[in-house]
Structure 1
Amino acid sequence: MSGVVKYTGYINDHFKVRGHVSLKDEDTDPPPEHVPEELEAVYREGATCVSVQCWNAAGAMFRLVIDMATKSLLPPEGEPPVAKIRRSLGFRLEWLFQNGKLPTDLQELAECIKEDGNDGAHDGTLTQNEALDLRDFTYTLLERLYTAPKRLELAATRRRERRGDA
């Protein structure tokens, strides 16, 4: 006998234990690329809730991601819009669409998604389909706000480097 079998100490002394592997780790969808860390963490929490069929918790997490992401689209404090719009996701979404800060093709779906998120957070009435709709909308919104612009930026950088313009 040699190696681990002969070792008389604790194996955990040589490893950092972060938790156990369970069903929650089996089938979670990652967020899109290039999403800010704080949004990625909340998105992953929502995805974990989906994987363990906690529909209301998932809806609340995806609504939170939408709330956080859209706050970053607002002008600095002291400029319009008014505080009521800054605080309320519904009013904020309306303002962002009216002012061209969000793609208008998402507008109709955004209203439904906001209501579903509210239902999950406040009423606890979400079904699997509503939670999955929230996940899909959140993913699409994050792709539009973060992934696509970053990919374009990286492509432009690569092009400049190839041409020697860097």
Structure 2
Amino acid sequence: MGWHGVNGLNSKQFTCGHCGNIIATKSGFFSDNQQFIYICSHCDQPTHFNAQGSQYPDVAPGNDVGHLPEELAALYKEARNCVAASSYTGAVLLCRKLLMNIGVKQGAEEGKPFIHYVNYLAEQGYIPPNGRGWVDHIRKKGNEATHEIALMSKPDCEDLIAFSEMLMKFIYEFPNKVPAPPAE
């Protein structure tokens, strides 16, 4: 397979999987078998598009969450980056682990079965109304990824990351946006 230089590509608009910016560029390389590598005009990183149009790295789903403890921020970022790298089963497992770590950060005892953390978050009011179904969905998908011979899909991950993001915003970000009451 031969690759050809940086001239003559049609302009392509996409969201860069490295920096997250929406860009349009003609800079890159193309192959004899309809694959392309475009160079981001913002961060100068390469993005590969195969013959079917799939992007590598893909865009990490979800949004940053403010006021997260460092360990939770690292797990959340890793789960999002797994999706960008098409490592969907790993992302599901990380979302499950993230729930356990959220429970421990909120006071649950370490070393317990996973269901303990789910119940703790629910009993302590950290799961919003009608949110228990989502937590159970993360638990079930995590169990499926752990104990069954099953591969997870991108839509599975996007749902779990969206719920994880919402839960962490509910617990960490939103309470920190409320102004402190005036001193009396």
Q: Do the structures match in fold with TM over 0.5?
A: yes
Structure 1 residues 101 and 30: CA distance shift in structure 2, 3 A: closer
- 1:141: how far off? 0.9
- 1:26: how far off? 6.2
Alignment correspondent of 1:144? 170
Q: Which has the higher helix share?
A: 1
Question: Secondary structure of 1:87's partner?
Answer: coil
2: CA distance between counterparts of 1:72 and 1:145? 11
Structure 1 residues 41 and 96: CA distance shift in structure 2, 3 A: closer
Alignment correspondent of 1:104? 129
Structure 1 residues 22 and 37: CA distance shift in structure 2, 3 A: farther
Matched, 1:71 2:96: no
Amino acid paired to 2:132: Q
Total equivalences in the alignment = 131
Higher RCO, 1 vs 2 (CA within 8 Å, ≥6 residues apart): 1
What TM-score, normalized by structure 2, do the two folds share? 0.60
Structure 2: tracts of 5 or more residues without a match: 1-43, 48-55
Structure 1: tracts of 5 or more residues without a match: 1-19, 78-82
2: CA distance between counterparts of 1:105 and 1:21? 42
**Alignment partner for residue 71 of structure 2, among 35, 38, 47?**
38
Alignment correspondent of 2:141? 116
Question: Secondary structure of 2:125's partner?
Answer: coil
What TM-score, normalized by structure 1, do the two folds share? 0.66
Amino acid paired to 1:27: V
1: CA distance between counterparts of 2:174 and 2:139? 23
2: CA distance between counterparts of 1:68 and 1:91? 12
Runs of 4+ displaced beyond 4 Å: 20-26
**Alignment partner for residue 80 of structure 2, among 8, 29, 47?**
47
Deviations 1:120-145 (A, max 9, x none): 23434211111111101110111111
- 1:95: how far off? 3.9
Q: CA RMSD in A?
A: 2.7
Deviations 1:66-119 (A, max 9, x none): 1100122235x6xxxxx8xx6122233124324534333211221111111222
Matched, 1:87 2:112: yes
1: CA distance between counterparts of 2:72 and 2:124? 23
